[in-house]
Chains A and B, each alone.
Chain A
Amino acid sequence: MNSRGNSTDLRINGVKIEAEFAEAFDMKATRIIITGHDRYWVDQAAMSMTGFGTSVVGCGIEIAVEQNLAPEQTPDGRPGVSVLAFAVSGSELEKQIPLRLGQCVLTCPTTAVFAGSHESADDSNAEAKASAKRIPMGKSLRYFGDGHQISKVVNTRDGDARYWRIPVMDGEFICQHDVARVSGVGGGNFILLGRDIDAVSVACRAAVDAMRNLPGMITPFPGGTARSGSKVGSKYAGMFASTNEAYCPVLRELVPTKLHAGENCAMEIVIDGLSAQPIAHAMKIGISAACQAAGESGLLRVTAGNYGGKLGRHHFHLHEVMS
Chain B
Amino acid sequence: MKHCVTLTLRENVGGNSIDGSGLCLSRIIGKSELEISKLSLDSETEDCIGELFDVAVGSSVSRSMVLRGDLSNFHHLAANHHSGTIEIDGNVGDYLGGAMEGCRAGMSGGRVLVRGNAGKQAGYRMRRGEIFIAQDAGDFLAAHMIAGTICVAGNVAGNVAGNAAGKAANHVGYGMRRGSLLLATQPVLAANRFSGPIPGSGRWIRLIEPVGDQKLDRMLAEMAAGNCVTSRGDAAAGGVGEILWTG
Which residues of A are interface residues toward B (Cβ below 8 A)? 75-77, 112, 148, 150-157, 159-161, 163, 165, 171-172, 174
Contacts and interface: CB of A to CB of B under 8 A. Distances in A.
Contact of B209 (A76, A150, A156, A174): A156
Interface string B187-215: 00000000000001101101111000000
A155 B62 CA distance: 11
Nearest to B180: A152
Contacts of A160: 83, 109
Interface of B: 61-62, 83, 85, 109-111, 128-130, 147-149, 178, 180, 200-201, 203-204, 206-209, 224, 240, 242
A76 B206 contact: yes
- Give the secondary structure class of B's interface: mixed
A171 B203 contact: yes
A155 B83 CA distance: 8
Contacts of A159: 83
B149 A152 contact: yes
B203 A174 contact: yes
Given A77-B206, A172-B204, 13 more contacts: A75-B206, A148-B240, A152-B149, A153-B128, A155-B109, A155-B129, A160-B83, A160-B109, A163-B204, A171-B200, A171-B201, A174-B203, A174-B207
A152 B204 contact: yes
- Give the secondary structure class of A's interface: strand
A203 to B, nearest CB: 43
A155 B209 contact: yes
A76 B109 contact: no
A157 B62 contact: yes
Contacts of A171: 200-201, 203
The 8 closest A-B pairs by CB, nearest first: A155-B111, A76-B206, A154-B207, A155-B130, A77-B206, A165-B204, A153-B128, A174-B204
A154 B203 contact: no
A260 to B, nearest CB: 57
Contacts of A148: 240
B207 A152 contact: yes
B146 to A, nearest CB: 12
A159 B83 CA distance: 8
Nearest to B109: A160
Contact of B203 (A76, A157, A161): A76
